[in-house]
């Protein structure tokens, strides 16, 4: 929903659930502005509205979809000002609204939207300027939904919750494999998960790394999760074997993704060692495990044990300093 300040992925998830609940209760707003970089939630809300406001017979005369690149704001305003024929609402859907010519002119309509028209603007790739009259009108009289892309550490918890909504569980390693292989494109992740769920044997209650390997094609033995784990354990033979596999299969194992995973891994080790140094220096106890998990931005507290083991094997004088710590902190955070 419309709010001040920067929208987080957590806000996106919360607002999405609230909007979908309102749609299910048939409580509709006169205008919806669905905007942002993550298209999955925008498409889901739009498709749900398009499927539930009118029945199939009413849609023939009461629902119209236009595309931003093929129309302009004046034409959309004219559509919105028409009265519904044989249905309680008229639904006007503007897909790819970020390409709509003279979009600011929609403010001529959103200033006083008709109760009988529901306008849905799908404004992808970026957000609408919040300083415009159009944005302010919709924020005051309709619904603004901002779809934010998740950070890497936010994906695994989201995947876990998504699977839970399907009455299943997923192993932390399996969720990490999906995140590592598919990146932050939620539409792609959901597509792969939907295919996986349809292929699971009847009676399956939990998704394992074996399921991911067999159905999605992600190796359970040769991935960034296993590489960082091998390094944490100082199992150099395994680490070099995985690195050799990556070198032989660069298309499935992009170097940039691996470098990013290694940087994040050693950054977390550094932060954990620094927390230990601070605890000794101040004579205070270490933060509790839940606090450490949040501090390290772990996708699942399950992985904290690995980082504790790695921190003992990699004192900070041997790991790269965290970019989040100052130079003075770096020089002091030694084991």
What is the structure's pLDDT at 70? Answer: 93
Task: Convert the pLDDT of each residue in 36-65 to its tens digit.
Answer: 999 999 999 999 999 999 999 999 899 999
Task: Convert the pLDDT of each residue in 167-189 to its tens digit.
Answer: 999 998 898 888 888 878 898 89
Confidence of residue 333 (pLDDT cuts 50, 70, 90): very low
Domain ranges for the chain? 9-147, 152-220, 224-335
Looking at 1.10.1660, 1.20.272, 1.10.10, 3.10.110, the CATH number of the domain 224-335 comes to 1.20.272
What is the structure's pLDDT at 319? Answer: 60
Nearest-angstrom CA–CA distance, 294 and 212 = 27
Does the pLDDT at position 328 exceed 50? no
Same fold, 9-147 and 224-335: no
What is the structure's pLDDT at 327? Answer: 37
CB 186 within 8 A of CB 150: yes
Q: Which residues of 18-39 are buried (b: 16+ CB within 10 A; e: fewer)?
A: ebeeebeeeebbbbbbbbbebb
- Write down the pTM of the prediction: 0.75
Give the 3-state DSSP-derived string for the chain, with helices as H, strands as E and coil as C: CCCCCCCCHHHHHHHHHHHHHHHHCCCCCCEEEEEECCHHHHHHHHHHHHHHCCCHHHHHHHEEEEEHHHCEHHHHHHHHCCCCCCCCCEEEEEECHHHCECHHHHHHHHCCCCCCEEEEEEEECCCCCCCCHHHHHHHHHCEEEEECCCCHHHHHHHHHHHHHHCCCEECHHHHHHHHHHHCCCHHHHHHHHHHHHHHCCCCCCEECHHHHHHHHCCCCCCCHHHHHHHHHCCCHHHHHHHHHHHHHCCCCCCHHHHHHHHHHHHHHHHHHHHHHHHHHHHCCCCCCHHHHHHHHCCCCHHHHHHHHHHHHHCCHHHCCCCCCCCHHHHHHCCC
* Portion of the chain with pLDDT greater than 90, in percent: 64
Does the pLDDT at position 320 exceed 70? no
Q: Domain 9-147 classified CATH 3.30.300.170?
A: no
Q: What is the CATH T-level fold of the domain 152-220, as seen in this structure? A: Helicase, Ruva Protein; domain 3 (1.10.8)
Does the pLDDT at position 218 exceed 90? no
What is the structure's pLDDT at 217? Answer: 80
């Amino acid at each position: 929903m419309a709010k001040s300040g920067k929208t987080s992925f957590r806000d996106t998830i919360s607002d999405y659930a609230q909007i979908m609940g309102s749609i299910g209760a048939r409580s509709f707003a006169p205008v919806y502005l669905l905007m942002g970089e993550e298209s999955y939630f925008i498409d889901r809300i739009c498709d749900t509205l398009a499927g539930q406001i009118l029945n199939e017979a009413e849609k023939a005369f009461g629902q119209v979809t236009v595309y931003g690149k093929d129309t302009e704001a004046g034409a959309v305003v004219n559509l919105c000002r028409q009265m519904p024929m044989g249905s309680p609402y008229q639904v006007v859907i503007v897909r790819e609204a970020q390409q709509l010519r003279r979009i600011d002119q929609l403010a001529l309509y959103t200033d006083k939207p008709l109760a009988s028209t529901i306008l849905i603007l799908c404004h992808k790739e970026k957000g609408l300027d919040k300083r415009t009259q159009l944005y302010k009108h919709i924020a005051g009289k309709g619904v603004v939904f901002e779809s934010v892309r998740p950070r890497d550490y936010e994906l695994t918890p989201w995947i876990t919750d998504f699977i839970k909504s399907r009455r299943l569980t997923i192993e932390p390693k399996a969720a990490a494999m999906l995140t590592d292989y598919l990146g932050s494109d939620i539409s792609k992740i959901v597509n792969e998960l939907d295919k996986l769920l349809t292929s699971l044997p009847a009676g399956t209650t939990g998704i394992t790394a074996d399921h991911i390997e067999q159905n999605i094609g992600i190796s359970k033995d040769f991935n960034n999760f296993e590489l960082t784990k091998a390094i944490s354990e100082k199992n150099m033979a395994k680490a070099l074997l995985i690195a050799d596999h990556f070198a032989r299969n660069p298309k499935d194992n992009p170097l940039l993704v691996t470098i990013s995973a290694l940087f994040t891994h050693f950054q977390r080790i550094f932060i954990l060692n620094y927390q230990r140094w601070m605890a000794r220096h101040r004579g205070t106890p270490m933060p509790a495990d839940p606090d450490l998990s949040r501090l390290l931005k772990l996708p699942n507290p399950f992985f904290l044990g690995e980082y504790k083991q790695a921190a003992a094997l990699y004192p900070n004088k041997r790991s790269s300093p965290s970019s989040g710590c100052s130079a003075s902190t770096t020089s002091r955070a030694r084991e």
